[in-house]
Amino acid sequence: METYTKGKKHYKEMKRESGNRICKKTNQKYQGTKSFYVLEERCIKSSSTKRDFFFFFAQQK
């Protein structure tokens, strides 16, 4: 997992494949080992696997 910095806030990158770590709506809170708020969702084409990967940039609470 990558960690990103936006301003003074740190964000973690989570994949949709993570099963119980899925949040489909922006700013919706999800419960896991830690709580996150989804800030952005984007789709990336992977040329190696021919699949779409969804990444959620969430601020750690």
- 57 confidence band (pLDDT: 50, 70, 90): low
Sheet containing 52-60: give its strands across.
3-6, 9-15, 52-60, 36-45, 29-30
Three-state secondary-structure class, residue 17? helix
Number of domains composing the chain: 1
Query: What is the reported pLDDT for 26?
Result: 38
Average the pLDDT over 40-53 and give the result: 56
Pairing of strands 9-15, 52-60: antiparallel
| Residue 29, amino acid | K
pLDDT tens-digit series, residues 4-45: 555 555 555 554 443 334 444 434 444 444 455 555 555 555
Q: Which domain holds residue 11?
A: 3-60
The label of the residue with tokens 């750690």 reads: 60
> Whole-model pTM?
0.21
pLDDT at 50: 56
Cα 43 to the center of its chain, rounded Å: 11
